Amino acid sequence: MSLLEFIRLVKGNFRMMFVIALVATVTLYCLTKDEKKQYSSQTVINTGVVSGYTILNHNSEGKVDRDYTRSELQNLLALASAYETTEELSLRLLATYTILDSPTDSLITSDGFIDLKLLKEEGFFSGIDKTDYKSAYNSIKLYRDSNEPSQIKELIYSNNIYFGVEHLATIKKKLKGSSDLLEFSYTTEDPVICQRTLIILTEIFLEKHRGLKESQSNDVLSYFEEATKKSAEKLKDAETKLLQFRIDNNIINYYEQTRFIADKKEDLDEFYFKEKMALEAAKSAKEKLDKQLGERGLQIDLNNQLLTKRDELSNVTNKLVMFEFLNSNETENYQELESWQVKQDELKDEIGEITIELQKLNFSKEGIAARNLLSKWLDASIQVEESTSRLKVIDQRKIQFTGIYQRFAPWGSQLKKIEREIALAENSYLENLHSFNQARLHLQNTLMVTNLKILEEPFFPSKPEKSKKLLLLALAFLCGFIVPLSIIIAIEYLDRTMKNPIESTKRLNLPLSGAFPFIRTDNNWSMGGVKIDYVALRKYSTRIITKNLVFNNLSEDSEKRPKVIGLSSIRGKEGTTFLAKQIVRNLRKYGKVLFVTEDDQQSIMSLDVKHLKMASGDLVAHGKALHELLDFDGSAIMDYDYIVVDLPAFIHDYLPVNLFSFLDHMLIVCKSNRVWTNADQQTWDDINSLLKISPKIVINGVRPDIMEEFIGELPKRRSWLRIKLKDYLRFNFSGSTGITS
């Protein structure tokens, strides 16, 4: 659709669209003429989700978790917009205002109290305990929770301007820009109630948010607190088990004791090895000295005495060694030890005296002094006895160490098991304690974060909101134009009739011969208030169709015979006869014309007319078929230049098939206000297959504005301004100036 066509479409339906727009505007005015003034207030709450200081992220270097922040802000909006929050707001408002007996500056205006009084008179507040706020609230809540219908319940869930949940749901909750500030705004008829509603909503929102956060944190805190107690009891049981095990087995410090025992055992083994070496050395020395001393009798006697004293000395030495190893840390037998040491000294002195007796033997066989040999022999003998005694004591001590090892070995495994239990219990306790502390920290952090701050208290709206009535009326008037225009444009695009010949024939792939305008008998059809010369328009259209018949695609037969032009329609009653008359009048300028029709009422025409009738599918005149007359050279019909045949409708009558071979042109007339159907197409295909020539379409009853596509400018007077405006709408900015020779 071009811009010019759009303008014509608007102009053609302007009256109808104007009436609809006017009706819509008047209707809206009547509906809103008693509209009350509206008052708006708002409050701003700082959520602190991004900008607030917290315990958990005070060292986070300003990093913000965007997903968490977005989720938290959306949760806040959802909580503020929750149906339960709105319902609670309605209950508290009702409890606040049902106990009022007179207007109060801080709660309601005089006009608002009148509306409240009407609700009381209608019985909405009947049955409510009006003693105080708390009693009223509990009473209203009971009515709300009851399954029985009641007026107060109906009021809560209505669209009441002050208390209805449906109206309170219109309170706007949004984030202020891209910040973490939450803004509540409300509009109602009473300014005081508007402010009070936002105050109560803010209180409810803060309570619910804080309670929700504390409930979540307390659940986690209780869980870890219980887990910490259980792990502490388990650790205490394991430690008690370890203590009892040490008491039962007289263990002070197992690892220190075992280390001391091992050290002593190593010392004993080392001492045993050294003592064994000393014994072997003493025995070897004694054997050598025995050989050096020989068979001397004196030596034997002395030896016997010496052996006796040696045995006594060995016993005394053995006693002293026992005291040395077994009673080294005891002081109560000190006197006994001292007596044995005195005895040992006496025996040594006696042995020394015996050795002196042996000095008679001055030298040995090898030339060694006897006294020196005896002294060495005595020392070796004493060494042998002492080492032997020590080794016996060490053997007994080793047996004792074996028993100690047998006791301490299983204790180590049991202690390891108990210590592992303690370690596991301690780790579990420490982990639970850490989680418990984290939960407490998170609770404290939550208390800090959820401590929402009100930056802007709800203010008192002293001035009403600017009325949008004029804007609404303008929108109603505009919609009254746009909606019908949209429907008209949609119908225009969806219209499948033949009103636009060029577009329709292109869409249907049909050859177009021309178009004929819509006929008005009063000749008063106008465009934009300017009357059109319809007689001239009809002549222009007929001339174009006639020229196409005379000059385009005429038969090239060398045989001289009249050119036969057939006119018909597919359905009938589409103006075929009338159009044929117009064509006949114009053809008279190009030669002698015969108009053949079956209409008996055409005798008034000043033309040659032959009246035919249908007989066995042929057009018959004077007892002969028309095709027979055309095929007969001597017939008077051959004197005409053009023969225009008005054929009956194809879809209802017989087809004059015999005449088709004589046709030079075939025009199918179709009304512009009908749709081309499958039946029309099928009939068209049948006709096209029977004719030697290609039939063409003539659209009848076309609107004059569309006829401009065929005849050019419509025959009507135009001002200079209209001519220029039309050129501009066609995007012809160079104008329509003429060219002179």
The DSSP annotation for 564-627 comes to EEEEEESSS-SSHHHHHHHHHHHHTTTS-EEEEES-TT-TTSSSEEEE-EEETTEEEETTEEHH
DSSP type of residue 675:
B
d(CA 97, CA 155): 13
Residues linked to residue 531 through DSSP beta bridges, in sequence order: 526
Q: Is the pLDDT of residue 599 over 60?
A: no
pLDDT band at residue 208 under the 50/70/90 scheme: confident
Residues linked to residue 646 through DSSP beta bridges, in sequence order: 567
| pLDDT at residue number 247 | 80
Interval 154-201: pLDDT, tens: 888 888 888 889 889 989 988 887 777 888 999 888 888 888 999 999
Choose the most confident range, by mean pLDDT, from 6-10, 306-310, 588-592, 665-669: 665-669
Contact 617, 654 (CB under 8 A): yes
d(CA 204, CA 213): 14
pLDDT band at residue 37 under the 50/70/90 scheme: confident
3-state secondary structure of 11: helix
Locate 456 and state its tokens.
């802007």
pLDDT band at residue 50 under the 50/70/90 scheme: low
Contact 419, 412 (CB under 8 A): no
Contact 92, 86 (CB under 8 A): no
User: Which of 133-137, 478-482, 737-741 shows the lowest mean pLDDT across its residues?
Assistant: 737-741
| pLDDT at residue number 622 | 45
Instruction: Give Cα separations from 645 to 358, 569, 584 (angstroms).
Output: 189, 12, 10
Phi, psi of 336 (to 5 degrees): -65, -40
Region 300-311 average pLDDT: 72
pLDDT band at residue 575 under the 50/70/90 scheme: confident
d(CA 370, CA 588): 192
| pLDDT at residue number 719 | 54
Instruction: Give Cα separations from 670 to 102, 482, 500, 525 (angstroms).
Output: 81, 34, 12, 22
Q: Is the pLDDT of residue 387 over 60?
A: yes
**Sequence letter at residue 273:** F
User: Which of 62-71, 220-229, 568-577 shows the lowest mean pLDDT across its residues?
Assistant: 62-71
Query: For the stretch 660-687, what's the b/e string if a residue is b when 16 or more beta carbons lie within 10 angstroms of its beta carbon?
Result: bebbbbbbbbbbbebebeeebeebbeeb
3-state secondary structure of 186: strand
Stronger pLDDT, 708 or 543, i.e. the higher one: 543
Stronger pLDDT, 570 or 411, i.e. the higher one: 570
CA angle in degrees (0–180, nearest 5) for 380-384-389: 150
Phi, psi of 526 (to 5 degrees): -135, 160
d(CA 631, CA 640): 14
3-state secondary structure of 702: strand
Interval 483-524: pLDDT, tens: 888 888 888 788 788 888 888 888 888 888 888 887 665 555
Locate 283 and state its tokens.
């025995």
Residues linked to residue 603 through DSSP beta bridges, in sequence order: none
Q: Is the pLDDT of residue 732 over 70?
A: no
Locate 649 and state its tokens.
């409708």
Contact 12, 472 (CB under 8 A): no
User: Which of 26-30, 130-134, 468-472, 618-622 shows the lowest mean pLDDT across its residues?
Assistant: 618-622
Could you count the other beta carbons within 10 Å of the beta carbon of residue 176?
Answer: 15
Q: Is the pLDDT of residue 607 over 50?
A: no
Strand ranges in 161-279 using DSSP code E only, listed in sequence order: 172-175, 181-188
3-state secondary structure of 733: coil
Contact 385, 313 (CB under 8 A): yes
Q: What share of the chain is helix, strand, coil (3-state, %, to 5)?
A: 60, 10, 30
3-state secondary structure of 709: helix
Region 235-255 average pLDDT: 79
pLDDT band at residue 621 under the 50/70/90 scheme: very low
| pLDDT at residue number 430 | 87
Locate 572 and state its tokens.
């009938």
Set out the domains of the chain in order of their start, with CATH numbers.
Answer: 1-34+478-494 (no CATH), 35-220 (no CATH), 254-447 (no CATH), 500-713 (3.40.50.300)
Q: Is the pLDDT of residue 135 over 60?
A: yes
Contact 355, 378 (CB under 8 A): yes
